[in-house]
Structures are given as C-alpha cells and as structure tokens.
Amino acid sequence: MKPETLFLKIVVCLIGITVLAMFIFVSPFIAYELAKGLDWLLVLFVIDLYASAIPFFVALYHTLRLLSYIDKNIAFSELSVRSLKYIKYCAFTFSMLYVSALPMFYLWAKGAGAPGVMLFGLVIILASIVIAVFASILQKLLKNAIDIKSENDLTV
C-alpha cells in the first residue's frame, strides 16, 4: 500500500468514525431538544439531519474504493469514473438536503440569537457543492484520459 493513499484512507476512516459517533451520541440529544416543542419545522430538520447521513457515508465508501483503485494501479478505468460519479451525486444530494434545511437553520439561529448557526449551514452547503463540482471535473478529466489512452492503444 502506498503511504499517500494509506494516509488518505486513514483520514477518510477517521472522518467517518467521527461523523458516526456524532450521529450516535450528539444527534439524539439535538433531536430531543429540538423536538420538545414538536414544531414541525424542527422535526423536519431532525429528519433531514439523519437523511443526510446516507449520501455522506456512500460518498465515503466510494472515496475508499477510489483510493483502492489507485493502489491497484487501475486509477484510469471506468471503475474510477463510476466512483467519482457516485461521489458527485452524493455531494449534490447532501447539499440539496441542507438547502432544504436552511429555513430550519434560520429559525434555530433566530431563537438562539446566534447568527453563526446560519453561517454554519451555509458553509456545509458550500463545501458539499465544491466537492460535487470538483468530483465532476475529475470525472470528466479521467474520462478524457481514458479515451485518449484507448485511442493510443488502438493505434499501436
């Protein structure tokens, strides 16, 4: 295993473990506190929070697969393009889930008197959109490189 990809795999696993721990230990507390008043927007926020875990962990899984393709020297393959496509879709889905939760971030910020909460929601959206655009660009570049490689293989 190459040290660079090993480092990235460890970082991805640590991110996944941290987020999983947050969903196990912190999210139920937040869900309980927000759902006390049974305001329907806050209940939707909790549902949105748990729904966002699905594309997040799917994207982490495909990131690990992409790193394993790089380790196996098959980075320039359709498998890598497919993994990047899934990462792109997951990041876009994640951002759309948090865009739908933006009104709830606003209510939370208004009730707490902390405008930084709203900024936190916007940062999450911006970061996931940047990841989706970056994955899309890498997917197109990789697809073009694979096409050029296959053309060169045919001419030799």
| Tally of domains within the chain | 1
Q: Which H or E run includes 141? A: helix 116-155
Radius of gyration of the chain (CA): 19
At residue 142, the pLDDT reads 92
Q: Give tens-digit pLDDT for 7-47.
A: 999 999 999 999 999 888 877 777 676 666 656 667 777 78
**pTM across the whole model:** 0.84
Residue 152 reports pLDDT greater than 90:
no
Amino acid at the residue 85: K
Average pLDDT, stretch 70-83?
Answer: 91
Residue 156 reports pLDDT greater than 60:
no
Domain carrying residue 135: 3-155
